[in-house]
A and B are shown apart, each in its own frame.
Chain A
Amino acid sequence: DTGVSQNPRHKITKRGQNVTFRCDPISEHNRLYWYRQTLGQGPEFLTYFQNEAQLEKSRLLSDRFSAERPKGSFSTLEIQRTEQGDSAMYLCASSEPLDLLAKNIQYFGAGTRLSVL
């Protein structure tokens, strides 16, 4: 499978615990995005990387959230001291380099569904 891969698919945790999710993008894609989606809403942008550089973070990304992409390949999203409001689907997407000619289509992984009890 050469698509975007996310692990784990599901995570159940107790409030206050830390969780980490992993995303493996399509191999030739240098851009990687994280989104959060709650029931009845569209995905909301959290942050994105170009290679290993984190270039933008949404105001939704509180101090308890941190994302890394150390080698410019896979990325991790960590949530510290989880709260019930963190329960959501966390989606990762990747795309080719952005230029004027590229459509910059973002391809999504299947997501990690987080439930905070």
Chain B
Amino acid sequence: RKEVEQDPGPFNVPEGATVAFNCTYSNSASQSFFWYRQDCRKEPKLLMSVYSSGNEDGRFTAQLNRASQYISLLIRDSKLSDSATYLCVVRENYGGSQGNLIFGKGTKLSVKP
């Protein structure tokens, strides 16, 4: 079983749509969770951290369900500029693997006019 699993997509949505991405992780002791965004042939950039209580940043909402080992990202009112690959990322145990990030394969989003 892969450590971090995501639906690779692609998700093709019209501008203004709401789109949700899901991710599951296998290590129940994982400490930290993130969504990174990666544009084509560019480096990954942090989109947002994911907290147990859920968190929102503008049009983006992230949720974490530790019991189900499930992470989600919701994008509302999608823009053309949201087109990218969204990487679900889990940081392994603090004190264990010392902060190494485990990436999913990414979910590709394409927002159309």
Residues of A at the B interface (CB closer than 8 Å) are 31, 33, 35, 40-45, 48, 50, 55-56, 91, 93, 95, 98, 100, 103-111, 113
Q: Does B29 interact with chain A (Cβ within 8 Å)?
A: no
B8, B42, B98, B102: the one within 8 Å of A110 (CB): B42
Docked complex Cα distance between A45 and B43 (Å): 14
Query: Does chain A have a CB within 8 A of B101?
Result: yes
Query: B41, B43, B100, B105 — which one has the most chain A CB atoms within 10 A of its CB?
Result: B43
Which of B41, B45, B99 meets A108, CB within 8 Å? B45
- Cβ of A42 and Cβ of B104 under 8 Å apart? yes
Contacting pair B45 A40 (CB below 8 A) = no
Offer 13 A-B interface pairs, CB within 8 angstroms, sorted by A: A35-B101, A40-B105, A43-B87, A48-B98, A48-B99, A50-B98, A103-B49, A105-B49, A108-B43, A108-B44, A110-B43, A111-B43, A113-B41
Contacts of B55 in A (CB 8 A): none
CA distance A40 to B32 in the complex (A): 24
Q: Mark B76-108, 1 if CB is under 8 A from A, else 0.
A: 000000000001010100100111111111100
Tell me, yes or no, whether B46 is within 8 Å of chain A by CB: yes
Contact status B49-A42, CB under 8 Å? no
